[in-house]
Amino acid sequence: KAGVTQTPRYLIKTRGQQVTLSCSPISGHRSVSWYQQTPGQGLQFLFEYFSETQRNKGNFPGRFSGRQFSNSRSEMNVSTLELGDSALYLCASSLQGAGNTIYFGEGSWLTVV
Amino acid sequence: GNSVTQMEGPVTLSEEAFLTINCTYTATGYPSLFWYVQYPGEGLQLLLKATKADDKGSNKGFEATYRKETTSFHLEKGSVQVSDSAVYFCALSRANQAGTALIFGKGTTLSVSS
């Protein structure tokens, strides 16, 4: 069974631009969540979607947004990029429920210059 | 609020040494607890988990026991290998809600030499 797939794997953007990252969850998983990983802040929860609805949200500015489609695929968007947005963005999927295992993709490496 | 505290690294060991990485948590309710491992340039892989007090998670020789009385979930392995070199993250899932958000510790880098 295929794992969580994220595209693109690597990208470079300029300050002020916007970026869209894509995630395909494991088949049958309807919960998709996003995390940001940086050396300074570690792993931080961005948001979670379930059945096309945002169910949880972390403490990030409104420049960070996401959505989920009817096939459970998800995208996240960052507008007006800042240098500090350079990070590894990880997508994860799971079955519904707090105790279920959350499976991660390999991430999208974003560099803002 | 909910939080996870891990011992700071890096941890440097010789092959076949005993490993302990300490993890303590603060949470309301009854969280599920996880250890994830990240190899260089890769995403996170689940190593083991425990969903209730006194549960022991185990995988690939690693073990961790959910200790509610000490709010701990320490990771142990009896004999580490060079291939275990990676960053290890302790995490909890927020309790009493249907969502699946994870709260992570800062990670502990393990380096094993032959």
Identify whether the C-beta of residue A107 lies closer than 8 Å to the C-beta of residue A90. yes
Cβ of B109 under 8 Å from any chain A Cβ?
no
**For chain A, percent of residues with pLDDT exceeding 90:** 84
Q: Report helix, strand or coil for A83.
A: helix
| pLDDT of B8 strictly over 60 | yes
* Interchain contact, A33 vs B49, CB within 8 Å: no
Chain B, 1-60: which have a CB under 8 Å from a chain A CB? 31-32, 34, 36, 42-46, 49, 51
**How far does the CA of residue B31 sit from the closest CA of chain A (Å)?**
8
Nearest CA in chain A to B104: A43
Provide the mean pLDDT of chain A.
Answer: 93
* Interchain contact, A104 vs B43, CB within 8 Å: yes
How many C-beta atoms surround the C-beta of residue B98 within 10 A? 12
pLDDT digits (tens, 9 = 90+) for A12-22: 999 999 999 99
How far apart are alpha carbons A68 and A64 in whole angstroms?
14
| pLDDT of A104 strictly over 70 | yes
Name the nearest CA neighbour of B32 among B62, B63, B4.
B4
Give the tokens for residue B9. Answer: 């690294």
* Interchain contact, B44 vs A90, CB within 8 Å: yes
Interface test with B, best of A30, A50, A101 (most B CBs within 10 A): A101
Give the tokens for residue B74. Answer: 């320490």
| pLDDT of B99 strictly over 60 | yes
Judged on CB neighbours under 10 Å (0-12, 13-18, 19+), A70 is: exposed
- In the DSSP assignment, the letter for residue A36 is E
Name the nearest CA neighbour of A2 among A19, A20, A26, A18.
A26
pLDDT digits (tens, 9 = 90+) for B33-92: 999 999 988 889 999 999 899 999 999 999 999 999 999 999 999 999 999 999 999 999
pLDDT at residue A97 in the model: 65
Query: Helix/strand/coil (H, E, C) string of chain B?
Result: CCEEEECCCCEEEECCCCEEECEEEECCCCCEEEEEEECCCCCEEEEEEECCCCCEEEECCEEEECECCCCECCEEECCCCHHHCEEEEEEEECCCCCCCCEEECCCEEEEEEC
| pLDDT of B98 strictly over 90 | no
Identify whether the C-beta of residue B40 lies closer than 8 Å to the C-beta of residue B26. no
- Sign of the dihedral defined by the CA atoms of residues B23, A95, B40, B103, in that order: negative
